[in-house]
Amino acid sequence: MIESDAPEPTLAQIVGGEDFFISLVDRFYDGVKDDDVLITLYPDGVDTTAARRRLAMFLEQYWGGSDAYSAERGHPRLRMRHAPFVIGDKERDRWLVHMLAALEVQVASLPEQVRQSVHQQFVAYVKNAADHLRNA
């Protein structure tokens, strides 16, 4: 058996990097823009350009890709950044509807041998994050 010192690829590398996260986030926000519950939480309303960029950078960094998010914005501090917005069960549930729908479409483009693992890891993370951000 040959051992390798090469590190395991990150999820960001497995999914192909930045483009995966940008596409995922675009799909997500395409749903959010027409969601009466969620869109009111965005200070810029339906102009989600800045929010899209931040979320894509955050997710890429979280999953082992570029650290551009932290370089630009510092520590994620997700609860602090979301504290000004009322996030209850209804908001969490609507957020998950759009994120899980976007994820279903996005992972379908991945190679079959990684699709299920990526999907499971991502679903577990977003469900946990959505619960964690509830503040009402």
pLDDT interval class at 22 (50, 70, 90): very high
Structural contact between residues 131 and 92, judged by C-beta atoms closer than 8 angstroms: yes
pLDDT interval class at 6 (50, 70, 90): confident
Amino acid in the structure at residue 95: W
pLDDT, residue 43, reads 87
The values of phi and psi at residue 27, to 5°, are -60, -45
What domains does the chain contain, in order, with CATH numbers?
14-132 (1.10.490.10)
Q: What is the tens place of the pLDDT at every residue in 43-96? A: 888 999 999 999 999 999 999 999 999 999 999 999 999 999 999 999 999 999
pLDDT interval class at 113 (50, 70, 90): very high
pLDDT, residue 1, reads 56
For the chain, the distance separating the N- and C-terminal CA atoms, rounded to the nearest angstrom, is 54
**Using H for helix, E for strand and C for coil, what is the string for the chain?**
CCCCCCCCCCHHHHCCCHHHHHHHHHHHHHHHCCCCCCHHHCCCCCCCHHHHHHHHHHHHHHCCCCCHHHHHHCCCCHHHHHCCCCCCHHHHHHHHHHHHHHHHHHHCCCCHHHHHHHHHHHHHHHHHHHHHCCCC
